[in-house]
């Protein structure tokens, strides 16, 4: 059986989009940390703003994307507000996408 | 939290379409007619209560849930509020159409009860959450002003049914309009925008310091204006109130400029673009109004000028802002309901895919153009311009709303 890696988890999380911005949460820089131990995964993430209306939806999307694609024994998703998200965390691809109409 | 806000928003949309369908029957020329008659009051209350306030109430339930990170105090109370308020406004509208005083008084009492239930529900949620910031402070002030507006309206209705203070009717009416327009809509829209505009522009690192003077100036303007209208403070006191309110909107526009300076999303959509332009127009209009009054104190004595100012505020800013925000709120509510449970799965659309941005832009451009022509027609007393502008305004509004409603089919 192939061992699950952090990169695989990160790649899977690219399927989760902020539906308002249309950018995936990895490129947005919302995923702070991923730890994988056997089939146990911990994801530490944030949102662009505290009180984001899409809080439950995006966290639910993270759970769904990982559980649907990986046979996980344990999944823990923690949303943190420190350090606060800043636009500097976005990837070049995300910046280009958001500036598309400029 | 989906059905309750949607219920208010759907009812508001029905009120809006009805208003414009009726407007089209007269080719918009009702704008030219004196407003102080049963027909005029019917239209104004259909627009203000069953459209703008209905949508605003739905938005408050939706946004307070987000801002306070807490479920509303009582969902049952929310549904009761909806039933009582809707029944009250329908009775009130019938009372105006039929010139039926018992219906007017009864409808006003029911609408007031609905407003009190709303203020109680949202107020209790706020007190439990204890989150105080410019958004919640503005909303709390707006709620208080809404209750005061409804109380004054009810007193006027009762005064018709049981004449007690007939000589005070005009004073009550002026305060009722002032507090409702500026206290309720002014503080609610500015307060909500503190949260919504940075989200839509993905703004970070902007200063929120201008939000405080906007709240202070708006409150000062609302209170001094209401007192001067109610107790006869005279033209100078009322002009001073207008000056303070105009200053509030200039500072509000400066705050929006600060938010946009720190944006990280170049295009939040054409609906938000129009919302922002309407705020700029309001600030410019307010400043121009003030400068004109200082140079020519007698410039605003005509009925046409008062109509132009009132229509510009209600249509140019309040309605334009509500319409612009609807292009975001409706896709958000529907997406969350329909696609939220599928987030993270393949082939889930984004919210932008649920509404054609170009159609939003054309619809609002038609509304804005129609309004400008109608306002010019009112000012210059041209029935042709008022008819052309009023028709364009209503056609644009109905087309725009059809774009919004089509979101529910996606």
Q: Does the distance separating the beta carbons of B344 and A68 come in below 8 Å?
A: yes
pLDDT band (50, 70, 90) for residue A2: low
Question: Structurally, how many domains does chain A consist of?
Answer: 1
Question: According to the model, what pLDDT value does residue A30 have?
Answer: 92
Tell me the backbone φ, ψ of residue B254, rounded to 5 degrees: -65, -35
In-domain check, residue A53: yes
State the average pLDDT over residues B213-221. Answer: 97
**CA B247 → CA A42, A58, A77, B135, B287, distances in Å?**
51, 40, 47, 19, 7
Nearest of B22, B384, B97, B303 to residue B311 by alpha carbon: B303
Long-range pairs of A22-27 with CB within 8 A, sequence gap ≥ 24: A22/A97, A22/B350, A22/B351, A22/B352, A23/A90, A23/A94, A23/A97, A23/A98, A25/A58, A25/A61, A25/A62, A26/A91, A27/A90, A27/A91, A27/A93, A27/A94, A27/A97
User: In Å, how far is A38's CA from the nearest CA of chain B?
Assistant: 23
Which of A57, A59, A90, A96 to mutate: most B Cβ within 10 Å?
A: A57
**How crowded is residue B228: how many other Cβ atoms within 10 Å of its Cβ?**
22
Q: Which chain B residues contact residue A54 at CB under 8 A?
A: 336
In-domain check, residue A50: yes
Helix residue spans in chain A (DSSP H): 6-13, 55-69, 92-98
Query: Can you give the residue range of the structural domain that contains A15?
Result: 6-101
In-domain check, residue A1: no
Chain A and chain B share a number of CB contacts under 8 A equal to: 86
Q: Which chain B residues contact residue A90 at CB under 8 A?
A: 264
Of residues A35 and B162, more confidence is placed in A35
Q: Does the distance separating the beta carbons of B336 and A54 come in below 8 Å?
A: yes
Q: Does the distance separating the beta carbons of B336 and A101 come in below 8 Å?
A: no
| pLDDT for residue A25 is more than 80 | yes
| pLDDT for residue B100 is more than 70 | yes
Structure tokens at B288: 């121009």
Question: According to the model, what pLDDT value does residue A100 have?
Answer: 47
Q: Does B340 touch chain A (CB under 8 A)?
A: yes
Q: Does B350 touch chain A (CB under 8 A)?
A: yes
The contacts of residue B165 (CB under 8 Å, 6+ apart) are B159, B172
B207: three-class secondary structure by DSSP: coil
Q: Does B102 touch chain A (CB under 8 A)?
A: no
What are the DSSP calls for B255-309, one per residue?
A: HHHHHHHT-S-S---HHHHHHHHHHHHHHHHHHHHHHHHHH-TTTT-SHHHHHHH
Q: Does A101 touch chain B (CB under 8 A)?
A: yes
Q: Does the distance separating the beta carbons of B339 and A68 come in below 8 Å?
A: no
Q: Does A28 touch chain B (CB under 8 A)?
A: no
User: In Å, how far is A101's CA from the nearest CA of chain B?
Assistant: 6
Q: Is the ipTM of this complex over 0.85?
A: no
| pLDDT for residue B266 is more than 90 | no
| pLDDT for residue B87 is more than 50 | yes
Facing B344 at nearest CB: one of A64, A86, A102: A64
Question: According to the model, what pLDDT value does residue B32 have?
Answer: 65
In-domain check, residue A18: yes
Q: Does A51 touch chain B (CB under 8 A)?
A: yes
Chain B, nearest residue to A15 by Cα: B344
Of residues B303 and B353, more confidence is placed in B353
Q: Does A83 touch chain B (CB under 8 A)?
A: no
Q: What is the CATH number of the domain that holds A58?
A: 3.30.300.130
Question: According to the model, what pLDDT value does residue B1 have?
Answer: 63
Of residues B242 and B188, more confidence is placed in B188
User: In Å, how far is A55's CA from the nearest CA of chain B?
Assistant: 9
Q: Rounded to whole angstroms, how far apart are CA atoms B134 and B302?
A: 37
Share the mean pLDDT of chain A: 84
Q: Rounded to whole angstroms, how far apart are CA atoms B77 and B323?
A: 27
């Amino acid at each position: 059986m192939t061992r699950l890696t952090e990169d695989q988890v990160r790649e899977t999380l690219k399927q989760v989009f902020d539906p308002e911005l249309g950018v995936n949460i990895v490129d947005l820089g919302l995923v702070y940390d991923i730890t994988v131990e056997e089939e146990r995964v911990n994801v530490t993430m944030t949102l662009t703003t505290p009180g984001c209306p899409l809080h439950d939806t995006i966290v639910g999307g993270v759970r769904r994307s990982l559980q649907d694609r990986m046979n996980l024994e344990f999944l823990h998703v923690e949303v943190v507000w420190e350090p606060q998200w800043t636009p500097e965390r976005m990837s070049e691809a995300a910046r280009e996408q958001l500036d598309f109409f400029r | 939290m989906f059905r309750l806000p949607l219920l208010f928003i759907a009812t508001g949309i029905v009120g809006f379409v009805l208003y414009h369908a009726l407007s089209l029957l007269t080719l918009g020329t009702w704008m030219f007619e004196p407003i102080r008659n049963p027909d005029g009051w019917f239209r104004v209350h259909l627009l203000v209560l069953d459209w703008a306030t209905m949508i605003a109430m739905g938005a408050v339930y939706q946004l307070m849930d987000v801002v306070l990170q807490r479920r509303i105090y009582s969902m049952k109370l929310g549904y009761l509020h909806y039933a009582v308020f809707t029944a009250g406004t329908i009775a009130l509208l019938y009372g105006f159409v039929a010139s039926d005083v018992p219906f007017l008084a009864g409808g006003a009492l029911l609408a007031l009860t609905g407003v009190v239930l709303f203020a109680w529900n949202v107020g209790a949620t706020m007190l439990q959450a204890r989150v105080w910031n410019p958004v919640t402070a503005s909303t709390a002030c707006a709620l208080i002003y809404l209750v005061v507006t409804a109380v004054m309206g009810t007193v006027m209705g009762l005064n018709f049914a049981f004449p007690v203070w007939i000589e005070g009717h005009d004073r009550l009416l002026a305060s009722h309009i002032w507090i409702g327009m500026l206290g309720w809509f002014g503080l609610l829209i500015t307060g909500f925008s503190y949260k919504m505009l940075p989200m839509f522009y993905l703004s970070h690192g902007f200063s929120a310091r201008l939000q405080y003077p906007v709240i202070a100036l708006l409150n000062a303007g609302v209170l001094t204006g209401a007192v001067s209208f109610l107790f006869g403070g005279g033209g100078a006191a009322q002009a001073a109130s207008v000056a303070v309110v105009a200053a509030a909107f200039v500072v509000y526009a400066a705050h929006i400029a600060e938010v946009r300076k720190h944006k990280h999303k170049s295009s939040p959509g054409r609906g938000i673009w129009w919302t922002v332009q309407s705020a700029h127009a309001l600030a410019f209009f307010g400043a121009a109004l003030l400068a004109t009054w200082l140079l020519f104190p007698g410039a605003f004595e005509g009925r046409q000028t008062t109509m132009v100012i009132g229509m510009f505020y209600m249509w140019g800013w309040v309605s334009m802002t509500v319409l612009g925000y609807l292009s975001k709120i409706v896709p958000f509510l529907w997406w969350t309901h329909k696609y939220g449970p599928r987030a993270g799965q393949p082939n889930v659309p984004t919210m932008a895919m649920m509404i054609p941005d170009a159609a939003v832009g054309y619809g609002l451009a038609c509304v804005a153009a129609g309004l400008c022509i109608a306002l010019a027609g009112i000012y210059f007393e041209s029935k042709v311009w008022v008819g052309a502008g009023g028709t364009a305004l209503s056609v644009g509004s109905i087309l725009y709303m059809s774009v919004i409603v089509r979101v529910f089919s996606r």
